[in-house]
Amino acid sequence: MKCSICGHKIKADLNGWTGGHNPWPVNEGKCCGECNDEVVIPRRLHDYNKQIIIKETKDGRV
pLDDT at 58: 79
The boundaries of the domain holding residue 29 are 1-62
C-alpha distances in Å from residue 34, one per residue of 16, 53, 61, 62: 16, 28, 37, 35
What is the total count of domains within the chain? 1
Residue 3 burial (CB count, 10 A)? 23
Residue 62 has pLDDT above 70, yes or no: no
pLDDT at 2: 98
pLDDT at 61: 66
pLDDT at 24: 98
Please write the tens of the pLDDT for every residue from 8-60: 999 999 999 999 999 999 999 999 999 999 999 999 999 999 998 888 787 76
Q: What is the largest CA-CA distance in the chain?
A: 48
